[in-house]
Structure 1
């Protein structure tokens, strides 16, 4: 009775209301279908952001090649730090390797603001991950980074290695030490741990095998220039086979002592070929301040995201290894 009265008095209102309800139902159904389509095709919002970052990163690669042509034109002709002579080249080596990849999550300083802290992409992604694994090479009795990782996560286990000290630093609270593991050994490109080898050195592959690990979420390396040998040996088989590296991100201090620009470029391009993308960098000004007579910033901190495969930082379904949001990067000098 009342419905008929409303219809006779306000027919346009009733029609508009019915149209609005119909459109709303249609949008909800269509949006759900589109969401299912995206998930089925692996085109989640996170993966789309990774793809967009990859496109921007490729633009930077083209700019690098242009810079090499200007100041080379061959890489062997480029100085790491040009001498102060006319014409004055307005660059240093680090300008060729900007941290141009966008982390798709929050970026935060983990650990001390001075030496020891690292910039991490999306620590929240492993905050409650039950199988979270962290490796830290180069402890040097300063463990503010490791301590904050432990405090910010519920389950992360940290494996630390450094032959120059006998334990983690004092920053790690006793209540969280049950999630830490330490060995006084070094990281290298080949195993040397016989009776006469002091200190004993292990490859990353060997340590992961010994620990029963197939994947590392966060890998921190500060090993005083041995990163070149170590990472070259480790990633070579992954490049050859096309497999993704078994870690999600890498916090790395690079020491270019006694290196040429050409050597650094070839090594850096191998990192890129393996899927590593730098999202943060800063020069080590503490080192420069205490070695002012050298007058060149030979050390720089870099943070890399592994953009190949389906690790937890680039995929909402890290257990699904069937798809990849990674696109191949082609370099004129890329390793074979």
Structure 2
């Protein structure tokens, strides 16, 4: 029996049918999602950041209403009120949600559990020639630093922790040429005289010591010293109107003996400087086993939306020497 496809007319009809099917299905498989569906007509990176900032401003309105509800002033708000008083209950973290939309992919860098961090757009650093990472608080676990080294070509990591003698064993020997470790502490003021042990430095002093004008990723876990550190470092930038010299901040906040007005002022200072929280992770190991059970420790990741850092400009711009513009 002769095949119907041997008839030229039937063959052409079949080809046309198959082509039509592929034409109809192709958009379903390949068309990327568009921000236009959300009312955004400009899809450049700076435009997305501006749109997400408008959304974030609603959170500030919500915070003011929540303070009014449970206060009515900040001094009247408890960090962790007793059970059923008031009802429904709340915690301090309800006032500070990680409500900013990262304009890139969000992913866990490093191990699950203690040690890893949530980062926005790590691939922006993959080929960056002057990539700089600062990591405070090593504690023998360096899976975060190890993955950053593995996935980037040029990132150099400066690590500081006076409780250990080096980075953790997760960093391969061949990557050590891109790491720099000192057993120094991070503080709100310098204390590094001959008799000072451990030697303590401000973030500004360490940057000057290393000849750095910018940091791409700043990781801080310094057991409640973060308040002194960031108050000393951030306030001068807020007062001068200059952008902070880092792109992202991953930090563990320790609320031991803090009151709500103090923490609110600290957080609002970070916001005024351009830092926006895009991820939060409670330290459940501590919170589950700490005396009293109050969730006083929480990890936050912030994106800096001010200045020319690599996470908010598109495309990244380098000068002929492979360095960032001077107004970073």
Distance 2:326 2:173 in 1: 41
Distance 1:165 1:121 in 2: 28
8 Å CA contact 2:83–2:89 kept in 1: the answer is no
Match of 1:305 in 2: 303
Correspondences of 1:183-262 after superposition (within 5 Å): 183-262=182-261
Q: Deviation per CA, 1:110-154, whole angstroms, max 9, x where unpaired?
A: 001010000000000001111100000000010000001001111
SS at match of 1:170: coil
* TM-score, length of structure 1 as denominator length: 0.81
Q: CA deviation at 1:286?
A: 1.3
SS at match of 2:216: strand
Q: Deviation per CA, 1:276-305, whole angstroms, max 9, x where unpaired?
A: 0000001100112332x3211100000000
Q: Deviation per CA, 1:82-132, whole angstroms, max 9, x where unpaired?
A: 112444243110010000001100111000101000000000000111110
Structure 2 unaligned regions, length at least 5: 1-41, 319-323
Q: CA deviation at 1:310?
A: 1.1
8 Å CA contact 2:281–2:299 kept in 1: the answer is yes
Distance 2:253 2:191 in 1: 23
Q: CA deviation at 1:196?
A: 1.8
Moved over 3 A (4+): 317-324
Distance 2:256 2:278 in 1: 23
Q: CA deviation at 1:73?
A: 0.5
Correspondences of 1:323-334 after superposition (within 5 Å): none
Correspondences of 1:1-336 after superposition (within 5 Å): 45-291=44-290, 293-316=291-314, 317-318=316-317
SS at match of 1:50: helix
Distance 1:235 1:114 in 2: 29
8 Å CA contact 1:136–1:158 kept in 2: the answer is yes
Aligned CA distance change for structure 1 residues 206 and 295 (closer, same or farther; 3 Å): same
* TM-score, length of structure 2 as denominator length: 0.83
Aligned CA distance change for structure 1 residues 156 and 323 (closer, same or farther; 3 Å): closer
8 Å CA contact 1:60–1:100 kept in 2: the answer is yes
Distance 1:300 1:257 in 2: 12
Distance 1:60 1:233 in 2: 26
Distance 1:296 1:87 in 2: 16
Structure 1 unaligned regions, length at least 5: 1-42, 325-336
8 Å CA contact 1:144–1:172 kept in 2: the answer is yes
Q: CA deviation at 1:321?
A: 6.3
Distance 1:126 1:281 in 2: 22
8 Å CA contact 1:309–1:321 kept in 2: the answer is no
SS at match of 1:57: helix
Distance 1:114 1:256 in 2: 20
- RMSD value, Cα: 1.6
Tell me the number of residue pairs that the alignment of Structure 1 and Structure 2 aligns: 281
Aligned CA distance change for structure 1 residues 175 and 321 (closer, same or farther; 3 Å): closer
Q: Deviation per CA, 1:289-328, whole angstroms, max 9, x where unpaired?
A: 332x32111000000000111100000245586999xxxx
